Amino acid sequence: MKAHKNQLAQQNIFQCKSRKGDCFDNPPPENFFGLLKQEMYYGVIYASFKQLKQAIEDWIHYYNHHRIKTKPGFQYRERITA
């Protein structure tokens, strides 16, 4: 585990500081990965890592370009591209 933390530190990546299972400090990534698993992973058996990787890349393209979400008074796409 320490080697993993050292490698993250070398890449200037900082781990979440909350307790295990507490996602209140990072809801956007938790939401993103929850949707990814729910919409393209659960219930599907992939024959190879290559097939899984391609499915994830395809889903991310779909998420970024075709599945634009809006909240009342706020548009994610406009905020990201502004």
Q: Where are the domains of the chain?
A: 20-81
- The closest of 26, 28, 55, 22 to 39, measured between CA atoms, is 55
What pLDDT is recorded for position 22?
A: 62
Model pTM?
0.54
Over its length of 82 residues, how does the chain's per-residue pLDDT go in tens digits?
A: 688 788 888 888 877 666 666 656 677 777 888 888 998 888 899 999 999 999 999 988 888 888 766 655 445 445 555 4
What pLDDT is recorded for position 51?
A: 95
- The closest of 57, 59, 65 to 81, measured between CA atoms, is 65
What pLDDT is recorded for position 6?
A: 85
Residue with tokens 């290559």: 50
